[in-house]
Structure 1
Amino acid sequence: MICKNAVESLTVPTFKVGYIMCTDALDDLYSKIKSKGVKMTVMLAKATALALAKHPIVNCSCKDGKSFTFNNSINIAVPVAVDGGFFTPVLQDADKVDIYSLSRKLKKLNKKARVTRLHTYEYTTGTFTLFDLGMFGVDSFDAVLPPGTGAIMAVGESQPTVVATKDGQTTIQRQIKVNVTADHRFIYGTELASFLQTLAKIIKDPKDLTL
């Protein structure tokens, strides 16, 4: 299945956009709620879902190669490694479900994925894919677009970086590199860049993630 999807993805005209985001506030929030079972991947999934709600074109699907469909739900697929490959458990309605419930849901889905007991709808209904390899120390990578979906986002590890301030001084800021691969048949550069701007603002000021 992985080989089939990878080959099929080569027939789709895609383009890639990268964006560097400040994670100081996100990392601070994570340190406060991780004891409640919240993973950074879930925080990123929630932030992504909130951004997609404001940019529905990025959450579209193209199943037949000719037309695209606006999805009624924002379902974030989150790949998990299993023996011989990976599954993509889906967080249904990630923009509407609270972050603690999403964390519990993903934990259950990952457990089922590792013993190949996911129901079909639990790994085939994603409308947007979040591929997080930050936990492995990866700083940046590109991901292959899953067939039928509009975009996939690859996220690396948050790392301390020296940045210049407006007054000409320097400071240390934690940053992540985000790379999105999108279907160019219906998603254009300005639309994807606007989505990433929105996501960067949510990550920089993540207070809405725990509402």
Structure 2
Amino acid sequence: MPTEILMPALSPTMEEGTLAKWLVKEGDTVFSGDLLAEIETDKATMEFEAVDEGVVGKILIAEGTEGVKVNTPIAVLLEDGESADDIDASTEPKQGDADSHAEPATPKAETLPAKGYGDDAGAAQQAKGGDAAPASSGGSGASGDRVFASPLARRIAADKGLDLSQIQGSGPNGRIVKADVESAKPGQKPAAAASSTEKAAQEPKAETGKSPIAEPAAPGAQAEQIRKMYADRDYEEVKLDGMRRTIAARLTEAKQTIPHFYLRRDIKLDALLKFRSQLNKQLEARGVKLSVNDFIIKASALALQAVPDANAVWAGDRVLKLKPSDVAVAVAIEGGLFTPVLRDAESRSLSSLSAQMKDLAKRARDKKLAPHEYQGGSFAISNLGMFGIDNFDAVINPPHGAILAVGAGVKKPVVNAEGEVEVATVMSVTLSVDHRVIDGAMGAELLKQIADALENPMVMLA
């Protein structure tokens, strides 16, 4: 029977994407591992590989179409002996499979990743392995849900008289594969189905007589309302790409769900600036030039080791405490920002951190980062000092426990230890903290450790 090729989920947070370019055409024979299409996700433009073999019988979604929902049929694959006449009308994408805003767009040749707020592991492996989403389907379960299974698994199930809706798939995204049907017995219930009955019994029932909470207006309706407000004004409407939509969703989630609190202090940089100048003279022959940001990364990594309970992330119903210091650094790119992660920063030399940071920042601006390079970490740094910003409050990047907002170093009059007024270079920093992960005293200790390392930079070489 014809096999539907579905829109894959190429990252854990992907709900829809743009079918940027087809790499095959109707009538082409494809084999497992062949490239089928380029798909623009909320993270990047990735190549999608075939899982099954056959002939491309029909392309259902035109290239350049935006807003294609995950698991929407995008093409139909024919097996040996089948023809286009075997394609049933049911394989046509239903209205609503893609958002109402879906429309053809000019495919982008370059990678278009979304900001590293999110964050989202395993996307690169999924994209290369072709197992990110089920690529074939057919039939429906008793509940009316689509059953995802490979053609071989379907044939074996038919021979054994098995109901695919009663089999728990072990393939990507629950897809039923050969091993599942070979080990299945007639009449067995999948573990998920059995447990769902127990869960339903345990879930609290909605109380009667209470009015539901009013839902906010749908984005389309909200946009229309705002357009009417500015109907008599001249404006340009800027369409959101995948990156901006992801940034909007992630920051809204962060501010609505994370109980932020803020810790602020000034840090004297004179000793650090003098030490940095001396090091850069000695490293000049090696082509190494350390920035103040390199020292901030190192100081933060060492502080996370000194306050290990703060080296943690929020995991829904628990806290995960990390052992290495994986520090993310915000990098501004056209249309958004990325937060590439420097792993094991506590054990790295300043020159090594500096070289890697320059490489990550360059590839972030060129939109060439792999997913594993901007996912993870427990702590982030956002430095706007180079733009002349004295201080600001940064939004925590879930699931991180904290983010350090770094302002510019400014010469100010200060009172020294002897009680005398002198001029010093002072940098204002603000630590935004997730109160579910880090309490006030712990956050204060973490910030003190960062400040102590920056004001006494020699300790970072110990």
TM-score bracket, normalised by the shorter chain, equals over 0.9
| Structure number with higher relative contact order (C-alpha < 8 Å, ≥ 6 residues apart) | 1
CA distance in 1, matches of 2:315, 2:368: 26
Deviation at 1:167, TM superposition (A): 4.1
Partner of 2:324: 73
Distance 2:270 2:417 in 1: 18
Instruction: Find the aligned partners of 1:38 and 1:165 in 2 and give their Cα distance.
Output: 28
How much has 1:127 moved relative to structure 2?
Answer: 1.4
**Paired residue for 1:2?**
247
Q: Which amino acid aligns with 1:95?
A: E
Alignment check: 8 A CA contact 2:311 2:323 kept: no
SS of corresponding position for 1:130: strand
Letter in 2 for 1:100: S
Partner of 2:123: none
SS, match of residue 320 in structure 2: coil
* AA of the residue aligned to 1:8: E
Q: Based on CA coordinates, which of the two structures has the bigger radius of gyration?
A: 2
The one-letter amino acid paired with 2:306 is K
1:17 aligns with 2:228: no
Cα displacement string for residues 28-59 of structure 1 (whole angstroms, at most 9, x for unaligned residues) = 12222345221211111001111111012222
Q: How does 1:156-167 map to 2 (within 5 A)?
A: 156-167=407-418
- Which position in structure 2 is the counterpart of 1:40? 292
Deviation digits for residues 160-195 of structure 1, max 9, x if unmatched? 111123443211121111101111012111111111
Amino acid at match of 2:253: E
SS at match of 1:144: coil
Q: CA, structure 1 residues 168+107, in 2 after alignment: closer, same or farther (shift >3 Å)?
A: closer
In 2, the alpha carbon distance for the partners of 1:61 and 1:170 equals 42
3-state SS of paired residue (2:426): strand
Cross-structure match for 2:274: 28
Q: Is the Cα–Cα contact under 8 Å of residues 45 and 76 in structure 1 kept in the other structure?
A: yes
8 A Cα contact 1:63 1:149, kept in partner: no
Distance 1:167 1:25 in 2: 17
Q: Which runs of 4+ in 1 moved over 6 A?
A: none
Counterparts in 2 of 1:111-190, with a 5 A limit? 111-190=362-441
Task: Say if 2:295 and 2:454, in contact at 8 Å, map to a contact too.
Answer: no
When structure 1 is superposed on structure 2, of 158-167 and 199-208 the one drifting more is 158-167
Q: Distance in 1 between matches of 2:415 and 2:348?
A: 37
- In structure 2, the residue matched to 1:195 is 446
In structure 1, stretches of 5+ residues that fail to align are: none
Higher helix share: 1
What is the rounded CA distance, in whole Å, between the counterparts of 1:17 and 1:94 in structure 2? 23
Task: Give the letter aligned to residue 261 of structure 2.
Answer: F
In the TM superposition, residue 210 of structure 1 has moved relative to its aligned partner by 3.8
With over 3 angstroms needed to count, the CA separation of the structure-2 counterparts of 1:167 and 1:83, relative to structure 1, is closer
Asked whether the equivalents of residues 68 and 186 of structure 1 are also in contact (C-alpha less than 8 Å), the reply is: yes
- In the TM superposition, what whole-angstrom CA distance separates every residue of 1:8-39 from its partner, at most 9, and x where no partner exists? 10211111110111111111122223452212
How much has 1:97 moved relative to structure 2? 0.6
Alpha-carbon distance between aligned partners in 1 of 2:413 and 2:377, rounded to the nearest angstrom: 36
- Identical positions, percent: 34
Maintained 8 Å contact 2:325/2:346: yes
Task: Work out the CA distance in 1 between the residues paired with 2:324 and 2:297.
Answer: 14
After TM superposition, the score normalised by the length of structure 2 is 0.44
- Tell me if 1:82 matches 2:333: yes
Q: Which moved more, 1:201-210 or 1:180-189?
A: 201-210
Q: CA RMSD in A?
A: 1.3
Q: Which amino acid aligns with 1:51?
A: A
Aligned to 1:206: 457
What TM-score does the superposition give when structure 1 sets the normalisation length? 0.94
**Structure 2 stretches lacking a partner, 5+ long:** 1-245
Aligned counterpart for 1:109 among listed residues 341, 360, 373: 360
